[in-house]
Amino acid sequence: GIQVEQSPPDLILQEGANSTLRCNFSDSVNNLQWFHQNPWGQLINLFYIPSGTKQNGRLSATTVATERYSLLYISSSQTTDSGVYFCAVERLTGGGNKLTFGTGTQLKVEL
Amino acid sequence: GEEVAQTPKHLVRGEGQKAKLYCAPIKGHSYVFWYQQVLKNEFKFLISFQNENVFDETGMPKERFSAKCLPNSPCSLEIQATKLEDSAVYFCASSQWVAVFHEQYFGPGTRLTVT
């Protein structure tokens, strides 16, 4: 199956700092989504981004499908950004339409 | 509705008992997915449906797990004879194909604890 690797596994930031999270995948994909799992366990959709660049407030994401990676940028981080960030991909062929998740980046934002 | 709904939020079962989880997809979405989150960061795909038909069941442990999506009813995931290793959060997601776009939206999950 497709492999999805995220880095870094853990990240601690001071409030106001910027960060970049990376997602590498091992095969061509049809779909790529970024999620934030908050401390209550809820999975929040951040971006649906199989290719290109999108921005939503302090967050932006870029996927370079030909090079099999995606980046999530968080600017001016706030304590409410804490939680786990997951990248999930749908393989282009032979994968049905299920998502394969990476192992996540655990982010803690401190005052 | 506008969100994926899952019930119950929490479920506690003794080993060997049956567990049944429910999911109502977003109105108009024709695809339903079940995922299992074991430990903190590990997601496993279980099964997907296109309307009431099984679309992909490659992740289902078939001996004890079954799932259905019937017309005009919430979808369900049932575990017969639960084991300690079934303790996990079970997420349901739904999506709709619009041109080539099919973003999946997740419900709040059901936390199953097997004692």
Q: pLDDT tens digits for A2-12? A: 999 999 999 99
**Closest-CA residue of chain B to A96:** B56
Q: Give the pLDDT score at B1.
A: 67
Q: Residue A14: helix, strand or coil by DSSP?
A: strand
pLDDT digits (tens, 9 = 90+) for B8-42: 999 999 999 999 999 999 999 999 999 999 987 89
Which chain A residue has the Cα nearest residue B94?
A98
The pLDDT assigned to B99 comes to: 64
> Domain residue spans in chain A?
4-110
Of B42, B95, B111, the CB nearest to A103: B42
> Is residue A91 classed as helix, strand or coil in its secondary structure?
strand
CA atoms within 13 A on the CB side of B105: 19
Gap between the Cα atoms of B100 and B33, Å rounded: 18
Do A99 and B45 count as a contact with CB atoms less than 8 A apart? yes
User: Between chain A and chain B, how many beta carbons pairs sit less than 8 Å apart?
Assistant: 54
Q: Is the pLDDT of residue B98 over 70?
A: no
A91-104: pLDDT as tens digits? 887 667 899 999 99
A32-53 residue pLDDT tens: 999 999 999 999 999 999 999 9
* Residue A74 scores a pLDDT above 80: yes
CB B26 within 8 A of CB B78: no
pLDDT at B65 over 90: yes
CATH classification number, B5-105, choose in 2.60.40.10, 1.10.3720.10, 3.90.1150.110, 3.40.50.2300 = 2.60.40.10
CATH, domain A4-110, list 3.30.300.30, 2.60.40.10, 2.40.10.170, 3.30.2350.10: 2.60.40.10
Could you tell me if residue A5 is left (phi over 0), alpha (psi between -120 and 50 degrees) or otherwise beta? Answer: beta
Q: Do B40 and A45 touch (CB under 8 A)?
A: no
